[in-house]
Amino acid sequence: MPDSTKANDIAKRVLRYYRKNRRDLPWRKRGDAYGVWISEIMLQQTRVAAVIPYYERWLRSFPTIEALAGAELDEVLSHWSGLGYYSRARNIHSCAKEVQANYGGELPRTAKALRALPGIGRYTAGAVSSIAYKEHEALVDGNVARVVSRVFAVEDNIKSTAGIKEQWRICEALVPKSAPGDFNQGLMEIGAMLCKPKNPDCVECPLSEHCRAFNEGRIDQLPVVSKRKAASEKPLLALEAGYLERGGKLLLAHRKAEGLFGGLWELPSADSREALANLTGLKLSFLGKQASLLHEQVLSHRRLRIRVWPAQVSGRTKLAQDSPYQRLSWLRLAEIPSIGISTATRSILERRSEIQHER
């Protein structure tokens, strides 16, 4: 735990670095609680460069919490499509509705009240309250955890209960009352731009004088991290998907809200081609003995493999009672961008010429 003299010096160095070197990012220009909230949710496990176009499009379509609360979930998911972790988008929508109904469309001003809302945890609450409302609150994300683990030589695994507890304890002792938002953003900026997982720029880092990992020659040893599972070690989810066209429309299935890909539209998928017919209630005559397209994707906790089968279609749709979907709909391709579709289905549709060629 840092003493007050060391904590004050670290705060001064972080603030000086941030105010001189901070990146010009759209959510920093906006600066309000709504913009901070949306950016922080989008930035979780996603790079800044990838988030910027999503953020700007989002704010054009949903400039206020009131606009977001009044939007349909399909529209919200369509704006999130490609970012992954779709439960976050569903939580954002639920949270907006609650804020509009109970707080007059303005996010609460304290971390404690923010944490009571759907999808807002300790980190996001700390970010919104400190950056937008100047509340004296700490935050810990991946970048911050790496910085404090090196500066203070935290020996516990960075993602363990003990390691997380220690990171928060340190950050709470460091954050200054005068500029908590700038300090928190400064720690994140140092982690993102200087204190990188590999080849950190310790020469330029304003905290190198205080950094135990640097001064003890242990930069490559800290933070302590668990070995990541190789993609081949993750469990495989193998599905058969139907590419079913009729009258210039494509059949898509809308998943129930809970579970993997909850609330998203996708090509109807099942464990087997036979199950596809039972799932949709249609009579399907598959074109060929081999799938015409293979989609493979590595998710956070599993591998996904989808074989896509075009088929001639007859009969009327009738959703099976034990289906993971809540409804089936025939949609024109031009309509699909306006709904929330899974990343897998989006990738498959981008390659649909391969399917049509096989037909």
Residues of the chain with pLDDT under 50: 357-359
Residues 6+ positions from 82 with CB-CB distance below 8 Å = 54, 343, 346
Residues of the chain within CATH 1.10.340.30 domain(s) are 4-215
40 is catalytic: yes
Strand ranges for the chain from DSSP E: 236-246, 249-255, 265-266, 269-270, 283-286, 293-298, 303-314, 325-331
**Active-site residue, from 40, 135, 137, 245:** 40
Query: Which contacts of 226-233 are long-range, i.e. CB under 8 A and separated by 24 or more positions?
Result: 226/157, 226/159, 231/298, 231/303, 232/303
pLDDT, residue 358, reads 46
pLDDT, residue 357, reads 45
Return the half-sphere exposure (C-beta side, CA atoms, 13 A cut-off) of residue 181: 16
pLDDT, residue 140, reads 98
Fold of 231-358: Nucleoside Triphosphate Pyrophosphohydrolase (3.90.79)
Closest to 249 in 3D by CA, of 346, 358, 328 = 328
pLDDT, residue 359, reads 44
CB atoms inside a 10 Å sphere around CB 90: 21
Class of domain 4-215: mainly alpha
pLDDT, residue 250, reads 97
pLDDT, residue 163, reads 97
CA 143 to chain centroid, in Å, comes to 16
Cα 147 to Cα 213: distance, rounded to the nearest angstrom = 10
pLDDT, residue 356, reads 59
Q: Determine the Cα angle at 111 with ends 147 and 146, to 5°.
A: 10
Residues of the chain within CATH 3.90.79.10 domain(s) are 231-358
pLDDT, residue 82, reads 87
Per-residue DSSP letter, 233: G
